[in-house]
Structure 1
Amino acid sequence: MMDRDHFAFVLQHSGQAKLAQAILIYRGNGGAPAPSYATVHEIDASGAVPVILPGRAATRAGLARLSQSLSRAARHLGLIPANALYADGHTLLWWVPPAQRHITFHCTQWPLADRAAVLPHPGLVFLCDKHRWQVWAVKGRRRPSGKTVLYRAPYFNVYDSGQICHGNVVLPQDNGFEHIGQWNAAFFDSRFTHVNAVAPLVRHPGGANAFWQMLLDDPPARFPSGALVRLPLRLNDLIARKEHDHA
């Protein structure tokens, strides 16, 4: 017996939603990837049980109109900013280029407990969905591609997984394109208080505390990318993982 999943949706307007059409997708068993075809079917709802009527081949124009209609309910709407890397309605990945930025430390485990300065930061990749807010570092100034190698984000308040401990920082309510700046501000304007990761944050004698103290005492023109810890992870791996989660 086939299990039946139950779902519900909320209308954004008054009235009722009626079953209007059905789309059947056919996939061939040859080639990689296998070719796909679609047919569009009207619905006969005159009886107690709706009936799918004979269909017609789907056209590109028809599928484009359907995609546009469905996208109105998607979470990520509007112009796609240049720093957006991936979006699927649930997850948003974006890139922050390397730059000089203000950073604040408030660390009771550190002799220099309260310090702040404008320092160089590496390029970063952020991931945000309804369950997690993560960050990794990347080398270079070019926009990342799928093959870009990821490095551990060299910051306090970040776990080994890349998950960010936001403490009492007020986070944006959504992860749409228009909120990327708010997420960046939530990260860079926070106070970095302690090391959360078990693995080394940076390649530096004395660890992360000594590394950031060195930058504060003698700020370099660029972030020392040689201190970044390489991970067995590429940008494509993050995307593949998210697509698997939503499959």
Structure 2
Amino acid sequence: MKNISHLFNDVYAPVKALLIHQSPKGDKSYVEAFDIGANGRPINAHPLSVNETISLAESLNTSTGFNNNFLKSEGLLPGKVLYIHPSRDGFAVWHTREQEVDLLFKEGLQIPSGKSYVPPLIWKATKNDLYLYAIKTIGKVSAKTPLFRAPFFNLYENDRVCMGTVDTGMEQVHSLEDFMAQWERDFWGSYFSHLIGEHSPVQGNIVQLWQQQVKTRQKFPLDVLTPKQKTIKDILV
């Protein structure tokens, strides 16, 4: 936990006040700004200027809650990046190819932890949430590429990953490259423990599937993936 006790004695003096006016119908509004006089009372009422608006936006953008530097690349965009939405609640979408990874399973599943192949995946992540999808496309993907349910435990029906008590450490992420790497590390480094909901994300028995995959270390059988009736284009919102 970060120690902020040294900030408790800082004194902040008011310098500006904002008053928001709204029309009776609520469809129009404008912001009036006030300077704060020496006696602490608002003076010099005036419409919020362009410079004041920019200053306010920059101030909000540098706060911890709204900072989206994690969507800025250190250089040229990595080849696996498909889409970036650079808003206050921004997110990135990226693609990983078929690969062999280390998988961790809780003992209760009776699946041994170990290396296994996983299918090509589409990752969509904000600073707080991760959504995961599988695809059958081995080569280049496009907006029309069909999506399938990711064949893993710990996923909600809406494809959001349940990270449990995992500390994602996103406060220390300051670039797009670190952001993607952190999410991938956190996902593969967490234990698969349970299904969420009544339906298996694969066609067939998911426990038997991963028992076989870890045992044989064969390529992932794409025919067991369950279609989402969506394409990559549908998740770019």
TM over 0.5: yes
Q: Which residue of 1 aligns with 2:230?
A: 233
Q: Which residue of 2 aligns with 1:203?
A: 203
Q: Which residue of 2 aligns with 1:14?
A: none
Give deviations 1:142-194, integer Å, cap 9, x for gaps: 23210000000000111111110101222141584122111101111111111
C-alpha distance in structure 1 between counterparts of 2:47 and 2:214, whole Å: 71
Give deviations 1:42-95, integer Å, cap 9, x for gaps: xxxxx955899xxxxxxxxxxxxxxxxxxx986322321111111021111111
1:166 aligns with 2:163: yes
Query: CA shift at 1:216, angstroms?
Result: 2.3
Assess if the C-alpha contact under 8 Å between 2:94 and 2:123 holds in 1.
yes
2:121 maps to which of 106, 109, 124: 124
1:143 aligns with 2:168: no
C-alpha distance in structure 1 between counterparts of 2:166 and 2:85, whole Å: 26
Q: Which residue of 1 aligns with 2:28?
A: 3
1:214 maps to which of 209, 212, 235: 212
Query: CA shift at 1:128, angstroms?
Result: 1.0
Query: CA shift at 1:131, angstroms?
Result: 5.2
Query: CA shift at 1:126, angstroms?
Result: 0.9
Residues 49 and 97 of structure 1, relative CA distance in 2, 3 Å threshold? same
Assess if the C-alpha contact under 8 Å between 1:136 and 1:152 holds in 2.
yes
Provide the secondary structure at the position in 2 that maps to 1:100.
strand
Residues 149 and 176 of structure 1, relative CA distance in 2, 3 Å threshold? farther
Residues 172 and 95 of structure 1, relative CA distance in 2, 3 Å threshold? farther
Query: CA shift at 1:209, angstroms?
Result: 1.1
C-alpha distance in structure 2 between counterparts of 1:213 and 1:100, whole Å: 15
Aligned length: 176
Assess if the C-alpha contact under 8 Å between 1:92 and 1:175 holds in 2.
no
Q: Which residue of 2 aligns with 1:99?
A: 99
Which residue identity is paired with 1:99?
Q
C-alpha distance in structure 2 between counterparts of 1:195 and 1:184, whole Å: 20
Assess if the C-alpha contact under 8 Å between 1:107 and 1:192 holds in 2.
no
Structure 1 gap ranges (5+): 7-46, 53-71, 243-247
Q: Which residue of 1 aligns with 2:176?
A: 177
Which residue identity is paired with 2:210?
W
Assess if the C-alpha contact under 8 Å between 2:132 and 2:161 holds in 1.
yes
Task: Normalising by structure 2, report the TM-score.
Answer: 0.66
Which residue identity is paired with 1:180?
M
Once the two structures are aligned, what percentage of the paired residues are identical? 21
Assess if the C-alpha contact under 8 Å between 1:123 and 1:139 holds in 2.
yes
Structure 2 gap ranges (5+): 1-22, 32-44, 51-61
1:190 aligns with 2:190: yes
Q: Which residue of 2 aligns with 1:43?
A: none
Assess if the C-alpha contact under 8 Å between 2:137 and 2:145 holds in 1.
no
Q: Which residue of 1 aligns with 2:72?
A: 77
Task: Normalising by structure 1, report the TM-score.
Answer: 0.64
C-alpha distance in structure 2 between counterparts of 1:5 and 1:238, whole Å: 34
Give deviations 1:17-38, integer Å, cap 9, x for gaps: xxxxxxxxxxxxxxxxxxxxxx
